[in-house]
């Protein structure tokens, strides 16, 4: 059942002809898209496709949602499996890349979620309401006379998050899902990561992309009213341990929102019909420009939706990972692992001291400081590898910190790679052959963004939210913070923080280094703040932060060294 906390909604723009490919509301309209046509400069269609526009589907509470149904025009009496894409982004806009599946014998169902387009109601943001609505859509599609009763779901980002929400309810006809880059807890992974509220790109999305006749949940207003976890925020966390259908997960180190949803999905799904593939390429490149990904997804759905004996279960490695090399070197992909985290991982604790990382705690007390208001000021601690080394898994920072000027502080910890000369490196989020420059250094500053470049995995924690629950923690290396209480800190008081850092896969040659950078500002290229209100003063860092080091305060970083 959806949670009962009163929800604040904000207005959204009405659907407009031409916006996000919206073509008007035409229930009952059917047409055939002819082979060779290429609307919106897409690739030409390989066969005729029948489209039933604005097909009405009722949710259990009576609200009407509308779907477009794409089927091979020559299917005749053949019963077809269906792949559903469900989102608030506009069904004429989202997931049209799935249309080439129609010639392969699939129906593609694009659904306007509750409140989006002409679907009734208001838009709910990736909570249990979406899960229930998607369940009802799955069962309605399965009952249609052309459908075989085998339903799959596909898509990335919001379209992946909704797969988690539907699959945890186990609709009888949901046969397989493929959540590629999908968060599992948008309170902890997007809007309030580490207790630090951040609209990220959702302000832009809810302003420019989501269109409907009512409104969308106002996440900023809900945070302002309910800054701590409550039933509204708890409703934004999927329970992957309830998922029973087969699952094919894809994720990456460098998604700013989806990394840990993919990891938690793999670690908590309770059965063995699951696969995870970690990518070194940005999710949109994977979807639109990587033929091998399309071929593999096709095999997966052919096995579970069409019943083809193609060897998927026998031939497909359960866990494949990527190790980023950074700089102008391609990542190493498709590293087959026994499991994730890797069995036999050595979680090596390395202690901070005098700008370096050491195997033993410092014998003398010291303090490292930085100006928490300055994005370019941070404490930096470096370790140089003597031998070729691979780190894959979950790092964690354990820091003893204080601030004289404020009764709270937000810490940002980033793991950066340096080359043998000490230069900081970045990872290009797609193959070099796919960009118009030969090296990362040639990319103009104005073109550098989180979508194409990755500085390194990061952890965030507000000190007043430092409490964590070991019983609910995903792993000893990744503490679960309930965020249900605020424990302010008397100025100058030293507190211990355990900060989970998102998954890493890094390779180092002898002479290369890892640097732990600790600061008071988000170290990303952009904060997507074009539509956001200024952050309230009480939410901001202020003054100098101190990191305490020594026998009584052994600040450290714990890194996952895997056997080779």
Find the CATH number of the domain harbouring 305: 3.40.50.1820
**Residue 324: inside a domain:** no
At 536-563, the pLDDT tens digits run: 787 899 999 999 999 999 999 999 999 8
Is the pLDDT at 349 greater than 70, yes or no? Answer: yes
pLDDT for 130? 97
Assess if residue 336 is contained within a domain. Answer: no
Looking at 294, 316, 338, which one is the last position of a domain? 316
| 417 pLDDT above the threshold of 90 | yes
Q: Poorest-confidence range of 84-98, 145-159, 325-339?
A: 84-98
Q: Write out the two tokens for 392.
A: 């894959």
Same domain (yes/no): 288, 370: no
Domain shared by 172 and 305, yes or no: yes
444 and 549, same domain (yes or no): yes
Q: Which pLDDT belongs to residue 164?
A: 98
> Region 170-193: what's the mean pLDDT?
96
- Indicate whether 180 and 290 sit together in one domain: yes
Q: pLDDT band at residue 37, thresholds of 50, 70 and 90?
A: confident
Among 91-95, 169-173, 453-457, whose mean pLDDT is lowest? 91-95
Are 383 and 520 in the same domain?
A: yes
Other C-beta atoms closer than 10 Å to the C-beta of 95 total 23
Residue scoring higher pLDDT (320 or 281): 320
Average pLDDT over residues 227-231: 96
With tokens 């080439």, the residue in question is 100
28 confidence band (pLDDT: 50, 70, 90): very high
CA dihedral (95, 101, 103, 104) in degrees, to 10, reads -170
CATH code, 506:
2.60.120.260
Distances (CA, A) of 543 to 30, 406, 512, 516, 540: 63, 7, 33, 21, 10
Mean pLDDT score, 9-38: 92
* Last residue within a domain, chosen from 269, 295, 316: 316
Would the pLDDT of 529 be above 70?
no
In a domain, 403, yes or no: yes
pLDDT computed for residue 96 by the predictor: 66
**Does 241 lie in the same domain as 112?**
yes
Arithmetic mean of pLDDT over the chain? 94
Q: Which two tokens stand for residue 461?
A: 């924690």
Determine the pLDDT at residue 525. 73
CA–CA distances in Å: residue 29 to residues 50, 96, 166, 234, 545: 11, 18, 28, 40, 62
More confident residue, 154 or 96: 154
Domain-located, residue 338 = no
Q: What is the pLDDT of residue 248?
A: 98
Q: Which helix (H) or strand (E) holds 158?
A: helix 158-167
Listing DSSP states for 392-459 in one string gives EE--EEEEEEEESS-S--EEEEEEEEE-TT--B--EESS-GGGSSSSSGGGS-GGG--TTTEE---EE
Site of tokens 């807890």: 185
pLDDT computed for residue 462 by the predictor = 97
Q: What percent of the chain has pLDDT over 90?
A: 85
Could you give the CA distance from residue 340 to residue 345 in angstroms, rounded to a whole number? 10
Average of pLDDT values for 507-516?
98
Distance from chain centroid for Cα 242:
20
Average pLDDT over residues 172-191: 96
- pLDDT score recorded for residue 450: 86
**Model confidence over 134-143: pLDDT tens digits?**
999 999 999 9
On the question of pLDDT at 159 being above 60, the answer is yes
Q: pLDDT band at 532, cuts 50/70/90?
A: low
Same domain, 279 and 358: no
| Cβ atoms 38, 259 nearer than 8 A | no
Q: Is residue 524 part of a domain?
A: yes
pLDDT at 308: 97
Question: And the tokens for 126?
Answer: 């990736």
Instruction: Using pLDDT thresholds of 50, 70 and 90, give the confidence band for residue 530.
Output: low
Check residue 505 and give its pLDDT: 98
Tell me how many degrees the CA angle 259-126-129 measures, rounded to the nearest 5.
150
pLDDT in tens, 66-87: 999 999 999 999 999 999 999 9
Give pLDDT, residue 40. 64
295 and 359 belong to one structural domain: no
Q: Is residue 27 situated within a structural domain? A: yes
Domain containing 158 equals 9-316
Find the mean pLDDT for residues 464-475: 97
Last residue in a domain, options 276, 301, 316: 316
* 3-class SS letters over 284-308: HHHHHHCHHHHHHHHHHHHHHHCCC
Do residue 464 and residue 543 come from a single domain? yes
What six digits make up the tokens of 516? 């732990």
> Domain check: are 311 and 383 in the same one?
no
pLDDT tens column, 394-409: 999 999 999 999 999 9
Q: Report the relative pairing of strands 274-279 and 319-323 from DSSP bridges.
A: parallel
Beta carbons of 457 and 394 less than 8 angstroms apart: no
Same domain flag for 57 and 101: yes
Is 340 among the domain residues? no
Residue 120 is assigned to a structural domain of this protein: yes
Q: Are residues 190 and 278 in the same domain?
A: yes
- Domain count for the chain, please give it: 2
pLDDT tens profile 210-221:
999 999 999 999
In the predicted structure, residue 299 carries a pLDDT above the cut 90: yes
* Structure confidence at residue 202 as a pLDDT band (50, 70, 90): confident
Q: What is the mean pLDDT of residues 438-463?
A: 94
């Amino acid at each position: 059942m959806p949670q009962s906390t009163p929800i604040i909604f904000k207005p959204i723009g009405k659907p407009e002809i031409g916006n996000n490919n919206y073509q008007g509301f035409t229930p009952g309209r059917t047409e055939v898209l002819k082979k060779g046509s290429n609307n919106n400069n897409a690739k030409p269609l390989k066969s005729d496709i029948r489209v039933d526009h604005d097909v009405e589907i009722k949710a259990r509470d009576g609200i009407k949602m509308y779907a477009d149904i794409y089927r091979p025009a020559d299917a005749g009496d053949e019963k077809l499996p269906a792949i559903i894409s469900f989102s608030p982004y506009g069904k004429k806009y989202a997931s049209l890349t799935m249309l080439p599946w129609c010639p392969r014998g699939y129906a593609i169902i694009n659904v306007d979620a509750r409140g989006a387009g002409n679907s009734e109601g208001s838009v709910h943001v990736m909570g249990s309401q979406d899960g229930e609505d998607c369940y009802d859509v799955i069962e309605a599609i399965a009952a249609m006379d052309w459908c075989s009763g085998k339903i799959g779901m596909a898509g990335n980002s919001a379209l992946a998050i909704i797969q988690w929400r539907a699959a945890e309810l186990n609709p009888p006809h949901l046969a397989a899902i493929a959540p590629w880059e999908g968060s599992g807890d948008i309170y902890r992974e997007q809007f309030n990561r580490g207790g630090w509220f951040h609209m990220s790109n959702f302000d832009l999305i809810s302003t420019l992309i989501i269109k409907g006749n009512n409104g969308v949940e106002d996440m900023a207003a809900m945070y302002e009213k309910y800054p701590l976890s409550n039933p509204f925020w708890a409703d934004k966390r999927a329970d992957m341990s309830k998922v029973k259908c087969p699952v094919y997960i894809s994720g990456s180190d460098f998604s700013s929102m989806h990394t840990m949803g993919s990891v938690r999905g793999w670690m908590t799904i309770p059965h063995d019909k699951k696969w995870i593939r970690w990518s070194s390429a940005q999710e949109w490149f994977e979807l639109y420009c990587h033929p091998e990904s399309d071929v593999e997804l096709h095999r997966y759905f052919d096995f579970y939706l069409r019943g083809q004996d193609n060897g998927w279960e026998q031939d497909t490695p359960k866990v494949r990972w990527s190790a980023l090399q950074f700089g102008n070197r391609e990542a190493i992909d498709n590293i087959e692992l026994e499991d994730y985290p890797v069995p036999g991982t050595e979680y090596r604790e390395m202690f901070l001291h005098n700008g370096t990382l050491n195997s033993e705690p410092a014998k003398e007390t010291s303090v490292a400081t930085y100006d928490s208001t300055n994005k370019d000021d941070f404490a930096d601690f470096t370790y140089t590898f003597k031998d070729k080394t691979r780190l894959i898994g979950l790092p964690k920072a354990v820091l003893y910190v204080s601030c004289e000027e404020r009764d709270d502080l937000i810490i940002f910890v980033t793991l950066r790679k340096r080359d043998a000369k000490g230069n900081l490196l970045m990872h290009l989020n797609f193959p070099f052959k796919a960009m118009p420059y030969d090296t990362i250094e040639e990319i103009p500053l104005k073109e550098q963004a989180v979508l194409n470049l990755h500085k390194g995995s990061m952890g965030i924690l507000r000190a007043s939210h430092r409490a964590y629950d070991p019983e609910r923690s995903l792993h000893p290396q990744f503490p679960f913070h309930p965020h249900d209480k605020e424990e302010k800190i008397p100025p100058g008081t030293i507190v211990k923080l355990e900060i989970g850092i998102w998954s890493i896969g890094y390779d180092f040659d002898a002479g290369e280094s890892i640097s732990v950078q600790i600061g008071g500002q988000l170290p990303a290229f952009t904060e997507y703040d074009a539509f956001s209100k200024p952050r309230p003063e009480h939410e901001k860092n202020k003054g100098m932060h101190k990191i305490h080091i020594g026998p009584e305060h052994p600040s450290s970083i714990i890194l996952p060294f895997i056997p080779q």
